[in-house]
Amino acid sequence: MTDRLYLFDTTLRDGAQTTGVDFSLEDKIQIANMLDGLGIDYVEGGYPGANPMDTDFFSKKRTKKARFTAFGMTKKIGRSVSNDPGIAGLLASQSDAICFVGKAWDYQVRVALEATLEDNLDSVRESIAAVVAAGRETMLDCEHFFDGYKANPNYALQVAKAAYEAGARWVVLCDTNGGTLPHEVEHIVGEVIKHIPGSHVGIHAHDDTGQAVANSFAAVRVGARQIQGTLNGLGERCGNANLATIIPTLKLKKEFAEKLSIGVSDEALKTLTQVSRALDELLNRSPNRHAPYVGASAFATKAGIHASAVMKDPHTYEHVEPESVGNRRKVLVSDQAGRSNILAELERLGIEVKKDDHRISRLLEEVKEREGLGYSYEGADASFFLLAQRILGEVPEFFRVQRFSVNVERRFSDGGDTETIAEAFVKVDVDGETLISAAEGNGPVNALDLALRKDLGKYQTYISGLELVDYKVRIFQGGSDAVTRVLVETADETGERWTTVGVSSNIIDASFQALSDSITYKLVRSGAKA
Ligand SMILES: [Zn+2]
């Protein structure tokens, strides 16, 4: 028999505090959908009544299976529950559950609330009771619980018990400042569970010591049965507990999997990598390559001897199967590479070749020579794919750029301000036809990209959904000259991403190589006919 552990996602509420993250209503709807599909039990959506977008968001239920949860303050002190507009807003929302936040640290009650300890307890009791009376599920996030417990254990416990006794389904212990360590969490949650059953206790951890995930598990080990976190660990400062790390650990590690069950199925787990990247895509952030389980490098191996061992027996170098979380094994191509790396990489890219094919040595030589010039294929899968295809198979010349020019001009506008504009011009042959395009951009590379993709004749339908999502430049000393390496990451309309590389002493020329590789890659992958 396994115990049910509940997952509560606060990406749309606490995660919205992340620097640089600003959800639109449309984003919120999409993210709620993704979380619902994953099998999260509670999706917290924001503060209805407190801001217009959230009120809109809560004007209908946005999840099918997950409990759609509204967040708000306990009633104001000195006001009755029925007279509190905040609580009225929460009750008016189309939510399945309401999560209150209340103070659990006596110091905060006195200083921040300027209230008596008893008044704060009343506010918790009455707010919870009002939601219970309205027939809806409710819970309390006990703010600063761990710091509060250290300062005054008796009062922190009183707050938690007040909520539970008033009918809260969950009492959630929050490490609001994120400074608590796993052994402290284990001890304090263990104490709380002597008073409130673990099946009603949750943990809400922040990552300020890099241990939000460890803290969540520490609480679960002593009996807590709800974990609050965010997708990709979004959240203010260092973020919240990362559900993209917690979920696979719960499902794939025996210690947890044998004792606990969660709402995420094995099938849904296989979509985790995609869900994690789709969120980054939506937020226009580059995915963290080194994220546990879902990062692009999570199952990547570099050195030659390791690579051949990985291919013979993956278990020797992998703690779980990459496919179980929808990720994939990756053997990096680098100048330390031997034949085995190249073979492994070709297999992964789906390029069929016999192990003793003499062209593999040629490809290896070519990779080494180009790496000597400054190319790097480790982060540029798509350029490696094209290089291999050119040597082992065939890559049609879909288009040939006769010439291009880029012009950058800084000038005075009519109003007398300075402005900088970039224009690019491209002359390209496609299928016996010469096409000329020009475009303006916010910079020279942007202008060149736009001009190049403006008109490729019969290939236009294949490339109209392309978007340049990341651009990285590194300048280093190669021999006597400075060499520029450009990496371009492109996404298409399906969300697929690939990276290409260009190297030159001229940054525009390096960018041009990477941009044209990117287009060629898309055409090859789409099966375009030359
Ligand atoms: Zn928080």
Helix axes 507-525, 444-454, angle to 10 degrees: 30
Q: Judging by beta carbons within 10 Å of its beta carbon (0-12, 13-18, 19+), is residue 35 exposed, middle or buried?
A: buried
Whole-angstrom CA distances from 300 to 64, 379, 382 are 36, 11, 16
- Rounded to the nearest angstrom, the distance between the alpha carbon of 481 and the centre of ligand 1 is 51
- Rounded to the nearest angstrom, the distance between the alpha carbon of 230 and the centre of ligand 1 is 10
Distance CA 361, CA 350 (A): 19
- Rounded to the nearest angstrom, the distance between the alpha carbon of 385 and the centre of ligand 1 is 44
What is the model's pLDDT at position 307?
63
**CA 511, 516, 518 angle in degrees (round to 5)?**
95
- Rounded to the nearest angstrom, the distance between the alpha carbon of 118 and the centre of ligand 1 is 24
- Rounded to the nearest angstrom, the distance between the alpha carbon of 71 and the centre of ligand 1 is 12
What is the model's pLDDT at position 303?
58
- Rounded to the nearest angstrom, the distance between the alpha carbon of 14 and the centre of ligand 1 is 6
Distance CA 220, CA 386 (A): 48
What is the model's pLDDT at position 335?
46
- Rounded to the nearest angstrom, the distance between the alpha carbon of 429 and the centre of ligand 1 is 57
- Rounded to the nearest angstrom, the distance between the alpha carbon of 263 and the centre of ligand 1 is 22
Distance CA 127, CA 109 (A): 16
Distance CA 239, CA 13 (A): 12
Helix, strand, coil % over all residues of the chain, rounded to 5? 40, 25, 35
- Rounded to the nearest angstrom, the distance between the alpha carbon of 8 and the centre of ligand 1 is 12
- Rounded to the nearest angstrom, the distance between the alpha carbon of 176 and the centre of ligand 1 is 5
Per-residue pLDDT 10s for the chain (530 aa) are 899 999 999 999 999 999 888 899 989 999 999 999 999 999 999 999 888 999 999 999 999 999 999 999 999 999 999 999 999 999 999 999 999 999 999 999 999 999 999 999 999 999 999 999 999 999 999 999 999 999 999 999 999 999 999 999 999 999 999 999 999 999 999 999 999 999 999 999 999 999 999 999 999 999 999 999 999 999 999 999 999 999 999 999 999 999 999 999 999 999 999 999 889 878 877 789 899 999 989 998 765 666 667 667 777 788 999 999 999 887 665 545 577 778 888 888 888 888 888 888 889 889 888 888 888 887 788 999 999 999 988 889 999 999 999 999 998 988 889 989 999 999 999 999 999 999 999 899 999 999 999 999 999 999 999 999 888 888 877 666 788 999 999 999 888 889 999 999 999 999 999 999 999 999 999 999 88
- Rounded to the nearest angstrom, the distance between the alpha carbon of 461 and the centre of ligand 1 is 45
- Rounded to the nearest angstrom, the distance between the alpha carbon of 408 and the centre of ligand 1 is 47
Distance CA 11, CA 45 (A): 8
Contact status, residue 12 vs residue 32, Cβ threshold 8 Å: yes
- Rounded to the nearest angstrom, the distance between the alpha carbon of 208 and the centre of ligand 1 is 11
**Location of structure tokens 């929808």:** 326
- Rounded to the nearest angstrom, the distance between the alpha carbon of 507 and the centre of ligand 1 is 44
- Rounded to the nearest angstrom, the distance between the alpha carbon of 240 and the centre of ligand 1 is 7
- Rounded to the nearest angstrom, the distance between the alpha carbon of 287 and the centre of ligand 1 is 22
- Rounded to the nearest angstrom, the distance between the alpha carbon of 464 and the centre of ligand 1 is 41
- Rounded to the nearest angstrom, the distance between the alpha carbon of 212 and the centre of ligand 1 is 11
- Rounded to the nearest angstrom, the distance between the alpha carbon of 258 and the centre of ligand 1 is 29
- Rounded to the nearest angstrom, the distance between the alpha carbon of 301 and the centre of ligand 1 is 36
What is the model's pLDDT at position 5?
98
- Rounded to the nearest angstrom, the distance between the alpha carbon of 128 and the centre of ligand 1 is 20
- Rounded to the nearest angstrom, the distance between the alpha carbon of 205 and the centre of ligand 1 is 7
- Rounded to the nearest angstrom, the distance between the alpha carbon of 421 and the centre of ligand 1 is 44
- Rounded to the nearest angstrom, the distance between the alpha carbon of 114 and the centre of ligand 1 is 22
